[in-house]
Structure 1
Amino acid sequence: MGSGNNDERGFFGEQPLRALEKGRSDSKPHYLGHRERLRERFSTAGHLALADYELLELLLFRLIPRSDTKPVAKALLERFGSLAQVLGAPEALLQEVKGVGPAVALDLKIVAAAAQRMLRSELKGRETLASWTQVLDYCRAAMAFEEREQFRILFLDKKNALIADEVQQTGTVDHTPVYPREVVKRALELSATAIVLVHNHPSGDPTPSRADIEMTKEIVETGKRLGIAVHDHLIIGKKGYASMKGLLLI
């Protein structure tokens, strides 16, 4: 009886493999030629020659090796709106798109984390105020598409070079508790002489609230007494940002 069961499992288990081998001998999947052409375009002309969905396709080639990834790439962009929003989307929402399972969703988040780490490494040790575009790019990549508010601090030395970048608090969809004394205390622990405050608005609208303004002014006053300057407070939204210094609020 045991032998018969083994034979049966072996027989049915071999059927998909035989069918696959037959398919390979008859013709190659249509998407293989497309993949090679897309890789060639990227290799010869660079990423600017590709649309967002094509760049996402190239990434998905590695994550979904035996399927046509164009429909998946287009579905992701249709759902989330942009390549940045795809990479910034939570794993659970990514998996709601047909063709994206847990492994693919996790790999997309790994790519997003690598991109953020690259942007942060470009800032490390550089004069932050002279690299303001890179600061904004990094903050948007790290925070714009988070579903909950995060309060982040960039700690700077006397030359305004980045010492550390830390998320101090994570809150709800519309509120993050911030304690000005803890902000300044951490700056002193890191021997920072200046800080840039950053938080996101999951609603997408970066307009500072009255609470944002009052909290910022309290941190400015607390820091001033201990020699810690607040260069700016950036509020990051999905489609833009607000600078409290630029708005003359600090």
Structure 2
Amino acid sequence: MNEGEADDERGFFAERPFTLTADPTPIPPLVRQSKTASGPAPDKPHYHGHRDRLRVRFAEGGASALADYELLELILFRSIPRADTKGIAKALLARFGSFAEVLGADPTLLAEVKGVGASTALDLKIVAAAGSRLARGEVGKREILGSWNQVLDYCRAAMAFETKEQFRLLFLDKKNALIADEVQQRGTIDHTPVYPREVVKRALELSASALILVHNHPSGDPTPSRADIEMTKTIADAAKPLGISVHDHIIIGKSGHVSMKSLRLF
């Protein structure tokens, strides 16, 4: 059976308890105790007990009670209902390096790992999107500058493991609350075209009073380039006469982040 056929059966077969119903036809005792012609009934797959134990550990101790590969197993249980997922979880971590990098990986690369396939790769991306949406919800509930760690966590979740550069804009009102979060441009592995005029135009459309610029470096190193510095200065200079402040330009990499404001680069 291929993965697509298996996926269609998940809703009917996956993770359902098995109930033995009474047989209305009497069976002689000797027949009940004997083996069938084809041999004894197969044992329950060993991983079923493992799944139950892992769920109990999570229910009692939360995510902190599990290693990264075990938490990944929990996610894979529903996607791969009839197989041992421990080896698959460990193979994903070996391929991509960390739990976050697995969820941030490109779906086509995820599907290259033996046992994953396109449908399971999509399920992993859905989990990643849910995490990003949760982080964005935390950012949107409060004043941005007073919840800076949440802003950084959100930007990292959304962009750190992208394989191509993105240029993101956080638009703020007079109280520094989030009005909108938009990806203005997507580029290549090492370049994103940014148009200062379009940035300022969009800020005026949203009646924003301030901006936070964010982009990622797929190389992993968040060190700003000369082009990054010059572009930031150009946007800040264009926005200032219109009453729009640029609070910061954050560069996100796999190894961390850099605040250009903290480094006094503009």
Q: TM-score, normalised by structure 1?
A: 0.90
3-state SS in 2 of match to 1:230: strand
Task: Summarize the Cα distance change of 1:71–1:222 in structure 2 as closer, same or farther, 3 Å threshold.
Answer: same
Q: Cα 1:63–1:23, aligned 2, differ >3 Å: closer, same or farther? A: farther
What's the C-alpha RMSD, in Å, of the aligned pairs?
Answer: 1.2
Deviations 1:200-237 (A, max 9, x none): 00111100000000000000100101010000000000
Q: Distance in 2 between matches of 1:35 and 1:93?
A: 26
Q: Deviations over 1:32-53 (max 9, x none)?
A: 0100000000011111010010
> How far, CA to CA, are the matches of 1:222 and 1:72 in structure 2?
51
- Asked if 1:109 corresponds to 2:128, the answer is no
Tell me what 1:25 maps to: 41
Q: Secondary structure at the match of 2:41?
A: helix
Are 2:218 and 1:202 equivalent residues in the alignment?
A: yes
* Match status 1:124 vs 2:155: no
Letter aligned with residue 176 of structure 1: T
Among 108, 113, 123, the residue aligned to 1:97: 113
SS of the aligned residue for 2:248 comes to strand
Would you say how many aligned residue pairs link Structure 1 and Structure 2?
229
The percent identity for this pair of structures is 73
The DSSP-based 3-state class of the residue aligned with 1:99 is coil
The structure with the greater share of residues assigned to helix is 1
Amino acid at match of 1:58: L
Q: How does 1:158-237 map to 2 (within 5 A)?
A: 158-237=174-253
Query: Over residues 121-141 of structure 1, what are the superposed CA-to-partner deviations in whole Å (9 max), with x where a residue is unaligned?
Result: 111141001111111111111
**How far 1:86 sits from its partner (Å)?**
0.2
Shift of 1:246: 1.0
The alignment status of 1:80 with 2:96, answered yes or no, reads: yes
Q: Distance in 2 between matches of 1:230 and 1:153?
A: 10
Unaligned ranges ≥5, structure 1: 1-21
Listed one character per residue, the Cα deviations across residues 134-180 of structure 1 (whole Å, up to 9, x for unaligned) are 11111111111111110000000111011100000001111111111
The structural deviation recorded for 1:23 is 9.6
1:45 aligns with 2:61: yes
CA separation in 1, counterparts of 2:106 and 2:238? Answer: 36
| Structure 2 match to 1:62 | 78
Amino acid at match of 1:48: S
Shift of 1:24: 9.6
1:42 is aligned with what amino acid? F
Q: Give the Cα separation in 1 of the matches to 2:62 and 2:134.
A: 19
Q: Indicate the residue corresponding to 1:11 in structure 2.
A: none
Which structure has the larger Rg over C-alpha atoms? Answer: 2
TM-score, normalization by structure 2: 0.84
CA distance in 1, matches of 2:160, 2:199: 22
Aligned equivalent of 1:71: 87
Match of 1:133 among 139, 143, 149: 149
Note closer, same or farther for the CA distance 1:24–1:223 as it changes in structure 2 (3 Å cut): farther
Amino acid at match of 1:93: L
Of 142, 147, 163, the match for 1:147: 163
Residue 25 (structure 1) shift: 3.1
